[in-house]
Amino acid sequence: MKAEQIPQFVVKNGNIEVNPAGKTVQETYRKAREAWTRLNANYAGALIASIFAARPWLQGFTIDIQASAEFDDAGGYYRTISSSISDISTVNGAEIPEDLETDGKLDADIAADVMQQDFEDSVYDIYSVFVDDTAYEDLRFSFTRNMIEEMIGATEIEGHEAFLRLFPDHESIVVHNASSRSS
């Protein structure tokens, strides 16, 4: 294989440059990363839609996603992502599941704990849609059933369409590219 076919950096006239094969790798990586971000955004839309679809009593909720630095035993640190659910509201007249009730009313703490389980394994994927890998930014999103009401009864809910309705201020993530994310 010729050197120009191997993706690599080269020193030319005292400057470090990437060769044509390396530029191809960089472009492929950029496109793959954008596609991965769009896929995760569509997953976020599908996840939120599934939460409303599975809970006919749920009118709305807020999710707060926090990032923090944790220190490891070797003296380094890493980013951890956590979330919490609040501001849970119910559809007027909807029947509340017994396991979420206390004294005949929705127990918001129990409901938040149950809903938190839906996000437990996915919160990092959702967070990474909006914030670059090296950033530490807290996020807050509020959702209502009205945002996707007509989608809920469908046989199939597309994550892309759900994302557009649930995160209207972030349309550029799924429509154009991921380069508009926070840094």
Task: Using the structure block, give the residue that is written with the tokens 């938040």.
Answer: 112
Angle CA 23–13–15, to nearest 5 = 50
CA-based nearest residue to 59, from 87, 23, 99, 78: 87
Residue 60: its H or E element: strand 58-71
Residue 144: alpha-carbon gap to chain centroid: 17
| Measured distance CA(47)–CA(65) in Å, rounded | 15
Task: Tell me the pLDDT tens digit for each residue of 110-139.
Answer: 999 999 998 888 999 899 999 988 888 999
Task: Tell me the pLDDT tens digit for each residue of 62-100.
Answer: 999 999 988 888 888 888 899 999 999 999 999 999 999
pTM, two decimals, is 0.83
> Structural domain tally of the chain?
1
- Residue ranges making up the domain that contains 57: 3-180
* 45-56 core/surface letters (b: 16 or more CB in 10 A; e: else): bbbbbebbbebe
Two tokens at 69? 């630095």
On the question of pLDDT at 46 being above 60, the answer is yes
